[in-house]
Every structure is written in structure tokens, then in C-alpha cells.
A and B are shown apart, each in its own frame.
Chain A
């Protein structure tokens, strides 16, 4: 059983569309991170959110941490082909030693 559930698993959209990816858990976490992974490479950290209700923006990407620190969302505005990749959320429990990853959302943005 996955500690973190990501949805959707796959997403194929046209350039210019908006999308939201979700990361949910029944557990409370100290902080949560989002990564993007491209084929043949390791994940690259996009953002860390630590406060319940926190919203962070990275250009066209908006990240939100749920008020109860159990869930998070990633919203992409006007998606571009360069956004194509596997998006992973990772939760960090209270001891800050372990990382729990979701299974990922594979995004394909068609030109």
C-alpha cells in the first residue's frame, strides 16, 4: 500500500491547457516536496512546502500544501511541451530522515 497516492497516473494534454496533479495521504507530514523526472535522469526538486495551507509559485507552476498537511496539489497553467515528464511528490515525516514518494504522474504535453 502506497503511503502517498498520486492522481492521475497519466495525463496527456495539448499545449496551452491547464492541469492539476494531486498527492494525498491519510498521514500528517512535516513537509512535502515535488520533483520532476525526465527519462534517463534522476528526479529534480521543484519545491518544498512546510506550512499547512502554504502556496508557492514557480513561474507557471503553483504548489499548495493542504491545511492539515496530509495532501498537496500541483497546478500548471498553460502547459508547454517542456513540462513533459514524471511528477513525483515526496513526504517527509517528523524525524526528517526518511522520504516517502508517491508513484508519480506521467504528464505528456503535445505541441
Chain B
């Protein structure tokens, strides 16, 4: 089954404690992306990757890092999380015909 998986699904952490949210896709898509979703703001793009070792900033990259060492994986790294990064995070991959497939989401709470 074609899918995007994210782990963990829920995470509660404290300010400043580094964390990584993993994302994996099995559709051999070159393009992957991370979004955050906040009430009233829709989805905002954090980072995207056109291919292995190629990443670029979206609209809200501050406080986040990404890496793309393999085509299937695109982890999101928060080096020093802060409460304003409490949000619902989605990973997505995109087909060559611009169809985006989203993961189930990771609900992050930073206290």
C-alpha cells in the first residue's frame, strides 16, 4: 500500500530538548515536504526537498532542520524546541504529477 508514515504520532516534550520526527514514503517520490498546521492558519510549509541532498526553506523554517540522505526518508529536527512550536506536523511526498500524499500527522506539545 502506497503511504507516508510518521513517528511518533504524539509527543510531549520540554523546552530545549532536541527531538526528531521521522517521515518515510514508499512511493519512490523525489519531492518531500514538512508542514505545520495551526488553528486558523491552515498548513504552512516548513521545508521541502526536491531530491536526495537537496533541501530548501518553506515559509516558516525558523527553528527547524531537515536532512535528506535517502529518497524514502525526510526527518524533521527541532534542535531546541520552544512552546511556539507546539503544533500538528504533517509530512508529505509529491508525485511527478503534483499529487501530494500526506502522513497521518504528529501532534507535538512543547512545555
Listed in ascending order, the chain A residues whose CB lies under 8 Å from chain B are 2, 4, 6, 31, 33, 35, 40-45, 48, 88, 90, 92, 96-104
Tell me if B104 and A45 are in contact (CB < 8 A).
Answer: no
Known: A97-B48, A98-B45. A103 touches B102 (CB 8 A): no
Q: By CB atoms of chain A within 10 A, which of B33, B50, B98 has the most?
A: B98
Measured CA separation A43–B4 after assembly (Å): 12
Contact of B43 among A43, A44, A92 (CB under 8 A): A43
Tell me if A88 and B50 are in contact (CB < 8 A).
Answer: no
**B contact patch SS:** strand
Q: Which residues of B contact A35 (CB under 8 A)?
A: 100
Expressed in whole angstroms, the minimum distance between the Cβ of A33 and any Cβ of chain B is 7
B56 interface hit (Cβ, 8 Å): yes
B29 interface hit (Cβ, 8 Å): no
Residue of A nearest to B31 (CB): A97
Measured CA separation A88–B90 after assembly (Å): 14
Tell me if A44 and B102 are in contact (CB < 8 A).
Answer: yes
Residue of A nearest to B99 (CB): A45
Tell me if B42 and A88 are in contact (CB < 8 A).
Answer: yes
Listed in ascending order, the chain B residues whose CB lies under 8 Å from chain A are 4, 31, 33, 35, 40-45, 48, 50, 56, 58-59, 90, 92, 97-105
Tell me if A99 and B33 are in contact (CB < 8 A).
Answer: yes
Expressed in whole angstroms, the minimum distance between the Cβ of B50 and any Cβ of chain A is 7
Known: A42-B90, A42-B105, A98-B48. A88 touches B100 (CB 8 A): no
Measured CA separation A88–B42 after assembly (Å): 8
A-B contact pairs, 28 of them (CB 8 A): A2-B41, A2-B42, A4-B42, A33-B98, A33-B100, A35-B100, A40-B104, A42-B92, A42-B102, A42-B103, A42-B105, A43-B90, A44-B102, A45-B100, A45-B101, A48-B98, A48-B99, A88-B42, A90-B100, A97-B48, A98-B45, A99-B43, A99-B100, A101-B42, A101-B44, A103-B40, A103-B41, A104-B42
Tell me if B58 and A98 are in contact (CB < 8 A).
Answer: yes
Q: Which residues of B contact A96 (CB under 8 A)?
A: 98
Q: Which residues of A contact B105 (CB under 8 A)?
A: 40-42
